[in-house]
Amino acid sequence: RSDGTSDSYEITQHQADLHILPGLRTRAWTYGGSFPGPTIVSRSGRRTVVRHRNELPQPVVVHLHGGHTPAASDGYPVDLVMPVSGGGDPMAGMDMPGMDGMPRMSGDIAHGERSYTYPVNQRAATLWYHDHRMGFTGPGVWKGLAGFHLVHDDEEDALPLPRGERDIPLMIADRSFAADGSFRYPAIDPAMHRAGVTDAYTNGVLGDVVLVNGAPWPVLQADRVRYRLRLLNASNARDYRLELSPQPPGGAAFVQIGGDGGLLARPVRHDALELSPAERLDVVVDFSRYRPGTKVRLINRFGSGPTSEVMRFDLSPSGRPPADDSHVPDQLSELAALDPGKAAVTRTFAFQQSEKGGWTINGELYQPGRTLARPKLGTTEVWRFVSDFHHPVHLHLEHFQVVSRNDADPGPYDAGWKDTVSLRPSEAVEVVTRFTDYPGKFMLHCHNLEHEDMAMMADFVTE
């Protein structure tokens, strides 16, 4: 629904039987009965209000990932929406590995429903929304709680990029299935945890099938024209290195036009795309570079067996492709580089495993309300992330620019505004951001969802 100043959506979260595997039903947790959930579309500068009703058996929290959102609607992990059915202890099941001794703190509790208000004072970008309940984000997202939220603006609309049916969001997420078709998430057994048997969980849960928009190995009948593919890695913990097979003559199959936070200044050409959890890459692929009738596979070089297959584009056999007046201009956007030299503060955050089995930031297991940083609104800061393992590091509230990796240049997938950066083992990554508005409590965390659930999160408070 829309009126003069805002767009509103209503979403009921409920269980639904999906048809993902032939002949089987998958009982999922859904936004509105589908996986992915309904795509929300916003216009930059116009408020979007999303009312969520919780008909699931457990409390939920909704977070708009990449949203520049006031704290009250950001989906802080203890600001729960309790089930409409009543019942559901807010602290139920808060006995996940790494959460021993965590205070049973509750936040702003809503009963049955909550409206999240997004001012959308931000540029066009591919955002997504997902569950963010403390200690349960991994299982919640795995069971199906994720969807796209696209923001459009005039700057992007003025460009001749592929649009309409040739602008396709692709949510890539791996899953495993039990014999009856249900999603299989490794059981969390505290006794096993105490005995140190948590490998399937501690390093992040991997599925054995890759789904694209909820379907295994889908095939798109495509014309030999340009397509814009908005790739999102919505997997709990899996990393991808995506390639087209065969490669088009001359390589550089992907022309990257955007990242997490919208358009790049200029397009970047890639033979392959690396995407760690929660990252987005917005690319244009020109299928007119292939012969009519070619079957082009999107493959994952980091996978093996079934996880190396993502999807396929079956190109039309017709020798005369339909009209295509799209192209990728050399200049996409005016993008001011933030100057790390102007930073008021440089802060270091170490992402490490604790001896006790949880995952920590600066040696601390997450505790709601314990603040690791207090940035001042209106100032620029440099944040340095260092690690012992692979961690996709995500910042709420503001997008950032990558300044350096191991004190050298940023990597090939670091261009533009980002909200999640892939931090490799023993690496140091510096990012620069500007805290513009919205005072309050926000989060910095690892987006390997099992690391996140095992306490690799921190609060920061803007003031």
Range in contact with ligand C2O (rule: CB under 6 A) among 83-91, 322-330, 379-387, 441-449: 441-449
Is there binding between residue 65 and ligand C2O (CB under 6 A)? yes
Is there binding between residue 391 and ligand C2O (CB under 6 A)? no
Residue 367 to residue 441: CA distance in whole angstroms: 13
SS3 category, 382: strand
Query: In 3D, which of 266, 263, 143, 113 has the Cα closest to residue 211?
Result: 143
Pairing of strands 125-131, 167-175: unpaired
Nearer to ligand C2O, 65 or 434 (CB): 65
Nearer to ligand C2O, 307 or 420 (CB): 420
Among 211, 310, 382, 443, contact with ligand C2O (rule: CB under 6 A) = 443
Given Cu ion, ligand C2O, none, residue 123, with its beta carbon under 5 to 8 Å by kind, binds none
Closest separation between CB of residue 447 and ligand C2O, Å? 6
Nearer to Cu ion, 99 or 268 (CB): 99
Backbone angles phi, psi at 452, to 5 degrees: -60, -50
H or E element: which one contains 350? strand 345-353
Does the CA dihedral 77-82-83-86 come out positive or negative?
positive
From start to end of 195-275, where are the E strands?
209-212, 215-216, 219-222, 226-233, 240-245, 254-259, 262-270, 272-275
Closest separation between CB of residue 394 and Cu ion, Å? 5
* Residues from 24 through 63 that contact ligand C2O (CB under 6 A): 63
* Residues from 329 through 348 that contact ligand C2O (CB under 6 A): none
Nearer to ligand C2O, 172 or 343 (CB): 172
Is there binding between residue 396 and ligand C2O (CB under 6 A)? yes
Is there binding between residue 399 and ligand C2O (CB under 6 A)? no
Backbone angles phi, psi at 289, to 5 degrees: -80, -10
Query: In 3D, which of 371, 333, 357 has the Cα closest to residue 450?
Result: 357
Given ligand C2O, Cu ion, none, residue 280, with its beta carbon under 5 to 8 Å by kind, binds none
End-to-end CA separation in angstroms for the chain:
34
Q: Are 217 and 311 in contact (CB under 8 A)?
A: yes
Size of the site for ligand C2O (CB under 6 A): 10
Closest separation between CB of residue 354 and ligand C2O, Å? 20
Given Cu ion, ligand C2O, none, residue 446, with its beta carbon under 5 to 8 Å by kind, binds Cu ion
Give, in order, the Cα–Cα distances in Å from 306 to each of 25, 175, 211, 299, 428: 20, 11, 11, 10, 33
Residues that bind Cu ion (CB under 5 A): 65, 391, 396, 446, 448, 451
Q: Is 336 left (phi over 0), alpha (psi -120 to 50) or beta?
A: beta
Closest separation between CB of residue 104 and ligand C2O, Å? 21
Range in contact with ligand C2O (rule: CB under 6 A) among 261-269, 284-292, 319-327, 440-448: 440-448
Range in contact with ligand C2O (rule: CB under 6 A) among 18-26, 115-123, 197-205, 439-447: 439-447
* Residues from 218 through 277 that contact ligand C2O (CB under 6 A): none
Given ligand C2O, Cu ion, none, residue 130, with its beta carbon under 5 to 8 Å by kind, binds ligand C2O
Residue 100 to residue 47: CA distance in whole angstroms: 40
Query: How is the chain split among helix, strand and coil, in percent rounded to 5?
Result: 10, 45, 50
Is there binding between residue 132 and ligand C2O (CB under 6 A)? yes
Given Cu ion, ligand C2O, none, residue 445, with its beta carbon under 5 to 8 Å by kind, binds ligand C2O
Please provide the size of the chain in residues: 463
Is there binding between residue 418 and ligand C2O (CB under 6 A)? no
Nearer to ligand C2O, 260 or 274 (CB): 260
Can you give the binding site for ligand C2O, defined by CB under 6 A?
63, 65, 130, 132, 278, 394, 396, 443, 445, 447
